[in-house]
Structures are given as structure tokens and as C-alpha cells.
């Protein structure tokens, strides 16, 4: 954390290695210190003193005279921007943002840092900024912007973009047309061309970010804007506080719509609520709980984050996929990314009430029986006030039975996984992780999880549970990128270390992320970012020597190598080399002890620990290694498409 002043480890790296030297940990020696006589000659990895100095430096309140970048940064500060994730570049803007005291994180790739910002927002509900330099730095962020767009994340993307004076000339390097590049990936975007309107366009940005259905906003800064100098407020054409350029007012439901919804709820035998992104961003958790409990309506979640409704409640249907098809009334609340018919498990006789901020989206894909345009919180509060006390005992019993069947199935997968002794099956990782997080020494609501990976995720999701808002960051949600997982880890861990929004009670605790060997290759360098900012995290890597897609090419010898890696790669050593720690696990029984060591170490040393779990690609072959590659049912614990 930038706030930490402790840049030296309380445990020496060598002592840690000695402690874990039996089995998996032994290999870490080579990564850190080399071998034999060379060990003593190698300098240890150190965090520059500048990090500690930054932590003790007071932020400054930006006052005139200011540059254009400073005017923008001041607007961001006053809007409550919670973090900046970037790489060097767009210097005037990122330096101004950092100078205000907005926590700033510099990483190894602009795309990763944009992913980190997306993840940060998904589990805090607060706005974060990502930034890249003109040209390559900006285009590096494209995948992350697309992910955030699909996840409906209010991500503020800023990038420098050469100068207006040299527009179209290709003078120098890195000039590009940024706004057309993000077309279709954002809610709003603007190349700022009039320095005097920089504050006005900050207003444009925050109006979009803080209203309606969120998506990314992209501003590109030519040098004339970022470096413009303003002596006083009059020099800036538009300079007002935020209550003058946007409203916090949100649409409320009509009483007629609420009455119609209550009538439908009263006559339904098996109603269910689908709680999604909109409930999270509206912070409608209490209203959701009140409605569910008063009318005894089960709740299932979908979305880019989970935990809006506690899985400890008997009304939670997240782990009861077998019951979903029985629902006769579905209340879709804040489900911004709508499935088409058949993508959710609900049957053909289910009726639908959709509550959403965007009238223009209600009725898309799934036909509605009632649409309500409203802030999710306002609608849930109105429904909770209006609905009578109801009982649905047999329906809740059906959900309980389906939950038991699902958990029995998971237990069977685990037992099967244990029968494969010479590699770690993903069912073992999933079950042991669930036991560790929710059925062991840790309070079950404590640990925030960045859920990622491909094949591994199909097992792990089945075991992950949410007991409070923002507990699970659903990495692959909708856009399906599997590479950002370590970058997501940065954003999630930063949010927890800063204690932002719903992460506040869990400030300081390590987070856990999951990924595969395909995914980790994209963003593993961000282990270094975790390490230098002292962000404690346990990164679980399922290493099966291949992309998860390999089995589709198993009978195509010329294509198969496209899907394969070298076998037994040592991602744990990479983590060690980047200032974190590593564990290498090759047998099922080794995983849980390694997880416990990793968690303790992450908590104690405030560092990332990567657990490299050696699996085998053939575990996806259902015929040879049942249960093979698993699929999913949505919504609920397995969902990530919608």
C-alpha cells in the first residue's frame, strides 16, 4: 500500500524459503538467490524509499493558478474519484491526480492497470481512473475498456494525445484518433480541444459516470489542454461545483407500476429475484433484503460482482441451480446486461418484471410482463413497503433441496478429484478453497475474491459464496477475457487495502484471486505491482500446461501445438523473481497447506503469494478423467455471461 512505511520484510526471504523447503517450496531458492556460491552475491529485491516518502507526503489542494490538467484533477478529487491506475505517460494529468492525494498505482502495462481500475470499481462501486500515454499506451487499454463496457463499469479512461496544433500531420510519433477507437466501447467520449472548457468536460464525464446505466467514459487530452495555464477561475470558461452541473436525483417508480408488481408477486407461487449490477451500484442491499424477507422471495445473483444478498440466507438461490427452472415470476433488478431467452435457466412459463434505470433497454431480449423504470433502490424500497407478508414454504424447501443436490454434486466432484494422485484436480482446488474461506478459521465474509480463470473457474465458481456486498469480483463477466486476472487482483487488493466502500470493514485483509496458466501469462508482471505497493494477495494459478481450449484440437495434429505450452512451467518462480512469493503444488494433499501458508504470509508480509497448482490438461477429457470440463447454469454462482 502506498500508505505503508515498512519497506523491509519482517521475515527474511531465505527464512521463508527454509520453512517451506520441504516439497513445493524448495524450488523457490533458485528463483530468488540463484544457486550455491552465487546466492550471497545477489542483491535482494528492495522497494525504493520513494514509496515510503510518498506515503508520508501530504496531498495538496489545487488552487489557482492551475494548469488544465490540474483543473481536471481537482474536479476528479471533488467528485470523489477513489483511485488512479496507470503507467507513466499522460504526465500532466496523472501527476496532477496523484498530487491531490487520490491513491495512485503505477503498474507494468496500461491494459493491466485499466483492468485493475475496472476491478476496483466493481467491488467498491466508486469511480476510478485509468490512464495511458498517447498512441501505444492508449491502445494497450482497449481490451480493458471493452471488458469494463461489457460489465457496465463506470470507468474513467484518460489518455494524452499529442497536440491539436499537429492534428493529422503525423509529426513526431504516437498521434492517433482515439475517440473512433473506443466507439462501441464507452458511454461517452471526447477529445478535449478547447482548454477553457476542461472543467466543463469533466462535468460531462461525471454526469455520465454517475447517472443511468454506467459504462466507461473516455477523455483524450492534447497537450494544449493539459498544459494550459489558468490564473483564476474566470480564465476557465466553466468552473462550478458539482451540484451545478449534475444531480444526484434518481428516477422513482410510479405507484401504478408498484401496485401491478405487488399484484403479480401476491399471485405467484414461486417468485424469484435476480439481483445484478444495478443493485450494487445503487447500494440497494438493505432494500433487497427487506423485500426478500418480507415476501419470502428467494434471491439469485448475476453480474460483474456478487454478494448483494448473503448466501447465508435460506432465501439465497445462488447455489440452487436445479430449482431456477421452477420459478413462475422473475424480478430482474438492475440486470443491465440482458440474456436472451434460454440463457437464464428460467422456464418458458416464467413471467418477468424488469426494473431498470434505462427505459430504452426494458423489453430487450427477454419479453417482459411488466417494466418499471426506476432507480433499483427506490423500486426495491417501494416494493418492500407495499408488499404484504407472504410465505412460500414449499418453494423455499424446493430451493433448499436443489442447494443440497448441488452441494452433493460438488462433493462428489471433489472425491473424484482426490482419486487423481499425481496432479492437482480443479475440483480439489475449488473445494479446499471453499473450505478455507467459509468453513475454516476465517470469518466467512472477510475475504474478497477476484474470480478468474477458464477451466478452473468452472469448478471454483461452484464453491465461491458471497456474504456481503462486493465480496466476489466476477472477472470474466460478459466480455470473457481470461488474461486480466492478476491485473484484477491489483484492483481488488487496492480496494481492500484502502477500505473503499463495502470493503471498509475488511480493510487490510489479503484477497484471493484465481486464474489459469493461459490467463496468468497476460498479466503476471503485475505481481511486481502488488509487491511494490505491499498489496497482500494469494494468486492461485491452475497450471495444466495448455490453453483450456486444447481438447477441441486434440485430433488436429497440425493445430494442437497452438493450444499448448511447455509443461510444468514455474509461475511461482516468476512471482518470486518479481518480489512476491511462490508455492508449487503438485499433489492434491499439498494444496490446502500451501494455501494456508500463502494466506498467512500475505497477511503478515503484505505481499503477493502465487500458488502454482500443477494439473494436467487431460483433466478436461470427460472420458478419461471424469467429470471433465464443466459448463454452467445462470444466474447464480456459476454465472458469468450475464
Partner 1 sequence: MTAALQKYSDRGVFRGLKTTRRPGGRYEYTFTWLMRRSFTLSYDPARRVLSFKNLFPNVTARSPIATALREVVAERSTNRVPAHKRLDGRRVQASCGIRGGGFWLTMRVRGEQGAYAVQQLLGLVNELFLVLHETFPDYVAAEFGLSSE
Residues 529-558 that bind partner 1 (CB under 8 A): 549, 551-552
Q: Is 60 in the site for partner 1 (CB under 8 A)?
A: no
- Evaluate whether 152 touches 304 at the Cβ level (below 8 Å): yes
Among 19, 60, 61, 269, binds partner 1 (CB under 8 A): 269
Element (H, E) at 537: strand 537-543
559 binds partner 1 (CB under 8 A): no
- Could you give the 3-state DSSP secondary structure of residue 354? strand
Cell numbers given for 136: 501505444
Span near partner 1 by CB under 8 A; candidates 9-17, 57-65, 233-241, 343-351: 343-351
421 near partner 1, judged by CB under 8 A: no
Hunting for cell 506515503 — which residue is that?
55
Stretch that binds partner 1, among 336-344, 555-563, 580-588, 599-607 (CB under 8 A): 336-344
Asked if residue 124 lies in contact with residue 502, where contact means CB atoms within 8 angstroms, the answer is yes
Contact pick of 34, 88, 255, 347 for partner 1 (by CB under 8 A): 347
H, E, C per residue of 22-41? CHHHHHHHHHHHCCHHHHHH
Q: Is 267 in the site for partner 1 (CB under 8 A)?
A: no
- Site for partner 1, residues 34 to 53, rule: CB under 8 A: none
Smaller CB separation from partner 1, 367 or 443 = 367
Binder among 349, 385, 408, 556 for partner 1 (CB under 8 A)? 349
Q: Give the SS3 label for residue 157.
A: strand
Grid coordinates standing for 94?
496523472
**Is residue 638 involved in binding partner 1 (CB under 8 A)?**
yes
**Is residue 325 a contact residue for partner 1 (CB under 8 A)?**
yes
Which residues 6+ apart lie within 8 Å of 252 measured at CB? 374, 375, 378, 379, 382
Alpha-carbon gap, residue 457 to 42, rounded angstroms: 38
Smallest distance, Å, CB 148 to partner 1? 18
By CB under 8 A, is residue 367 in contact with partner 1? yes
Element (H, E) at 394: helix 393-418
Question: Closer to partner 1 at the Cβ: 214 or 452?
Answer: 452
Q: Nearest distance from residue 272's CB to partner 1, in Å? A: 14
Taking the least distance from each CB to partner 1, the nearer of 525 and 633 is 633
Question: Count of H helices and E strands in the chain?
Answer: 24, 20
**Which of 480, 505, 508, 561 contacts partner 1 by CB under 8 A?**
480
C-alpha Rg value of the chain to the nearest Å: 25
- CA dist list (Å): 166 to 139, 163, 469: 20, 5, 48
Cβ atoms of residues 118 and 477 within 8 Å: no
Q: Are 82 and 102 in contact (CB under 8 A)?
A: yes
User: Which one of the spans 92-100, 334-342, 370-378, 569-577 is the region binding partner 1 (CB under 8 A)?
Assistant: 334-342
Q: Which part of the chain contacts partner 1 (CB under 8 A), choosing from 373-381, 393-401, 566-574, 578-586?
A: 393-401
Angle subtended at Cα 349 by Cα 346 and Cα 352, rounded to the nearest 5 degrees: 65
Q: Is the peptide bond before 316 cis (omega within 30 degrees of 0)?
A: no
Is the distance from CB of 448 to CB of 123 less than 8 angstroms? yes
To partner 1, the closest distance from the beta carbon of 542 in angstroms equals 17
Phi, psi of 224 (to 5 degrees): -60, -30
List the interface residues with partner 1, window 441-470 (CB under 8 A): 454
By beta-carbon proximity to partner 1, the closer residue of 386 and 629 is 629
Least distance (Å) between residue 579 CB and partner 1? 32
Positive or negative CA dihedral for 86, 535, 469, 426?
A: positive
CB of 623 to partner 1, least distance (A): 8
314 binds partner 1 (CB under 8 A): no
**Number of residues counted as binding partner 1 (CB under 8 A):** 31
Rounded CA gap, 627 and 264, in Å? Answer: 41
User: Taking CB under 8 A as the rule, which mask of x and - marks residues 607-636 in contact with partner 1?
Assistant: ---------------x----x-xxxxx---
Q: Does 400 bind partner 1 (CB under 8 A)?
A: no
- Residue 326 interacts with partner 1 (CB under 8 A): yes or no: yes
Task: In angstroms, give the least distance from the CB of 494 to partner 1.
Answer: 28
As a whole number of angstroms, the distance between CA 64 and CA 59 comes to 16
321 contacts partner 1 (rule: CB under 8 A) = yes
Secondary structure of residue 344 in the 3-state scheme: coil
Q: Which of 21, 54, 259, 341 binds partner 1 (CB under 8 A)?
A: 341
Question: What is the binding site for partner 1 (CB under 8 A)?
Answer: 269-270, 321, 325-326, 340-342, 345, 347-349, 366-367, 369, 394, 398, 401, 454, 480, 549, 551-552, 622, 627, 629-633, 638
Amino acid at each position: 500500500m502506498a500508505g505503508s512505511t515498512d519497506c523491509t520484510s519482517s521475515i527474511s526471504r531465505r527464512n521463508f524459503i527454509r520453512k517451506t523447503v520441504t516439497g513445493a517450496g524448495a524450488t523457490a531458492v533458485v528463483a530468488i538467490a540463484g544457486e550455491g556460491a552465487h546466492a550471497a552475491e545477489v542483491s535482494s529485491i528492495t522497494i525504493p524509499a520513494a514509496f515510503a516518502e510518498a506515503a508520508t507526503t501530504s496531498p495538496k489542494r489545487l488552487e489557482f493558478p492551475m494548469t488544465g490538467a490540474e483543473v481536471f484533477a481537482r474536479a476528479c478529487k471533488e467528485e470523489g474519484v477513489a483511485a488512479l491506475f496507470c503507467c507513466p505517460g499522460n504526465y500532466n494529468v496523472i501527476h496532477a491526480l496523484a498530487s491531490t492525494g487520490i491513491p495512485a498505482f503505477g503498474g507494468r502495462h496500461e491494459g493491466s492497470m485499466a483492468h485493475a481500475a475496472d476491478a476496483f470499481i466493481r467491488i467498491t462501486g466508486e469511480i476510478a481512473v485509468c490512464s495511458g500515454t498517447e498512441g501505444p499506451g492508449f491502445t494497450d487499454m482497449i481490451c480493458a475498456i471493452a471488458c469494463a463496457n461489457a460489465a457496465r463499469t463506470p470507468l474513467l479512461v484518460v489518455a494524452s494525445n499529442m497536440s491539436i496544433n499537429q492534428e493529422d500531420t503525423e509529426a513526431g510519433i504516437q498521434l492517433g484518433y482515439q475517440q473512433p477507437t473506443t466507439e462501441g466501447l464507452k458511454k461517452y467520449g471526447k477529445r478535449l480541444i478547447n482548454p477553457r472548457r476542461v472543467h466543463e468536460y469533466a462535468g460531462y464525464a461525471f454526469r455520465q459516470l454517475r447517472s443511468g446505466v454506467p459504462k466507461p467514459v473516455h477523455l483524450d487530452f492534447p497537450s494544449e489542454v493539459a498544459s494550459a495555464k489558468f490564473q483564476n477561475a474566470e480564465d476557465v470558461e466553466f468552473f462550478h461545483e458539482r451540484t451545478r452541473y449534475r444531480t444526484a436525483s434518481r428516477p422513482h417508480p410510479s405507484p401504478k407500476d408498484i401496485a401491478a408488481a405487488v399484484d403479480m408477486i401476491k399471485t405467484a407461487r414461486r417468485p424469484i429475484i435476480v439481483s445484478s449490477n444495478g443493485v450494487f451500484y445503487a447500494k440497494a442491499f438493505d432494500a433487497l433484503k427487506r423485500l426478500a424477507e418480507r415476501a419470502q422471495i428467494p434471491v439469485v445473483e448475476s453480474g460483474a460482482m456478487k454478494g448483494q444478498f448473503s448466501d447465508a440466507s435460506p432465501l439465497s438461490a445462488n447455489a440452487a441451480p436445479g430449482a431456477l427452472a421452477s420459478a413462475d415470476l422473475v424480478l430482474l433488478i438492475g440486470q443491465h446486461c440482458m440474456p436472451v431467452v434460454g440463457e437464464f435457466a428460467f422456464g418458458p412459463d416464467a413471467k418477468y418484471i424488469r426494473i431498470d434505470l434505462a427505459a430504452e433497454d426494458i423489453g430487450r431480449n427477454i419479453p417482459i410482463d411488466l417494466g418499471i423504470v426506476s432507480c433499483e433502490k427506490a423500486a426495491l424500497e417501494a416494493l418492500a413497503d407495499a408488499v404484504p407478508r407472504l410465505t412460500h414454504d414449499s418453494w423455499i424447501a424446493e430451493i433448499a433441496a436443489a442447494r443440497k443436490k448441488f452441494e452433493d454434486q460438488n462433493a462428489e466432484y471433489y472425491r473424484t478429484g482426490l482419486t487423481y494422485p499425481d496432479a492437482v484436480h480443479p475440483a480439489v482446488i475449488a473445494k479446499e478453497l471453499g473450505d478455507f474461506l467459509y468453513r475454516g478459521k476465517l470469518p466467512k465474509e472477510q475475504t474478497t475474491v477476484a474470480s478468474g480463470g477458464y477451466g478452473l473457474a468452472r469448478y471454483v465458481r461452484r464453491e465461491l459464496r458471497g456474504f456481503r456486498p462486493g465480496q466476489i469480483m466476477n472477472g470474466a463477466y460478459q466480455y470473457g477475457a481470461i488474461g486480466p486476472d492478476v491485473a484484477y487482483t491489483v484492483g481488488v487488493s487496492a480496494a481492500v487495502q484502502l477500505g473503499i466502500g463495502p470493503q471498509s470493514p475488511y480493510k487490510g485483509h489479503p484477497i484471493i484471486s484465481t486464474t489459469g496458466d493461459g490467463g496468468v501469462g497476460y498479466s503476471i508482471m503485475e505481481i511486481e505491482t502488488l509487491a511494490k505497493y505491499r498489496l497482500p494477495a494469494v494468486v492461485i494459478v491452475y497450471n495444466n500446461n495448455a490453453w483450456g481450449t486444447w481438447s477441441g484440437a486434440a485430433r488436429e495434429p497440425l493445430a494442437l501445438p497452438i493450444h499448448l505450452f511447455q509443461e510444468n512451467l514455474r509461475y511461482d518462480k516468476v512471482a518470486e523473481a518479481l518480489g512476491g512469493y511462490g508455492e508449487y503444488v503438485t499433489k492434491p494433499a499439498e494444496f490446502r497447506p500451501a494455501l494456508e501458508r500463502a494466506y498467512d504470509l500475505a497477511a503478515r508480509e503484505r505481499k503477493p503469494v502465487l500458488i502454482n497448482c500443477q494439473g494436467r490438461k487431460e483433466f478436461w477429457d470427460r472420458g478419461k478423467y471424469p467429470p471433465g470440463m464443466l459448463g454452467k447454469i445462470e444466474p447464480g454462482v456459476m454465472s458469468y455471461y450475464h
